[in-house]
Structure 1
């Protein structure tokens, strides 16, 4: 009898623990928002500048547009030179458009401030679910310039900003993977797998997302659940050696903001990335 009682107590505690983790992953962690900062040095002569990067908002069923004001406020506190969005604005436009307030979302994103402009690239969800019909116009109305296989020189900072089309559903231009320039290149792409295709001369830094950092972090299982296009990269800063390239390249893969497939985040707090670039001494 005593043993059976102990087993029941243990079972009860396990259930309570499981429900607590489930509640945290559903209602608490997705509403958190952190800023991860890093300093990047280059041998190139550039004017110091700050890039603020956010990606994978997946506004919709699991992460509604009411979160946008908090996101915008957090970004503006960082006083960015440029703000870059890495794709996947909406989770599933066809499914969610009837009850989403896109006008409210637009007004919020319009409020993002950046001294030298706001830029964005396409993600796979921006093509899927019918979002391709609205994404470019929507982002333009929010003040973002879409870089779709485009590069532009930010002369005030002495850098070249390069944006690739989506690796999975777009048509990335292979010519941009092998670009000869004397300028420091800040590259933006949705999927981190493109890092192993880059053959650019000079120094390069790649900002990407797509993986959500696994969204739910489970030892030994997270990497098996990463979406196509992730490669072996989960989240965080990767060196050229870790990428497996001889090119002068660093990459930061962001765990993103929102959720897809299931409404949970666990051990994977939504993040904004602040990158401070400067010439090494």
Structure 2
């Protein structure tokens, strides 16, 4: 059975949420450990670590909250709307891209000139190996957010449904993909109470029309109406008329006498 585009987007949505939750948690945990190493051993910090911790914590908590609200309300809340998710994922993309860029710059400034993490101290080796992990998972989170934004925009453009961005992904995945004219005709038949009729069969209305016997109508003069709705009268019964016919032979109308014109007297000329 073929899977519709809406169903694919609906499945990808949960997969992307799960990936973002995992990557956010990893970036948050590694940055927190990196911050702990710098504070406890050197008494300072690199400013990228608080930024990644803040973005990772916000992303982790907000995605779990949106996921739970979507399951509880069955996509009836505003956080499940496509327009909101596009804006929210766009914000997360900007935040993660900024954190990833700052982390990459810090890595280049701190350990970029050193070939490998061959330090004598375990703390430096641990910091040198953890910082690229933070950079990698920050970029992964940013590009996953960008991919989901592009996917939602492309999905809304392809579906071309009314107010598609005001619906949730769950609601949009359940929209029928039949053409608009066919869907409109089917909806009209549903409202009118008509049942679909196969080719070569009569609808219930037509069947009832032909099965009920219609008594013939009697007219004066012995003229009988046709028994069927599309039958004509027989030659013996004569043409049908909407008016009663006179009984017996027809007599010509009596002549009407009009007074003659008075004649003028004639006088001979002299």
For normalisation by structure 1, the TM-score amounts to: 0.22
Q: In terms of Rg, which structure is larger?
A: 2
For normalisation by structure 2, the TM-score amounts to: 0.23
Q: Which has the higher contact order (CA 8 A, sep 6+)?
A: 1
Structure in which a larger fraction of residues adopt strand = 1
Structure in which a larger fraction of residues adopt helix = 2
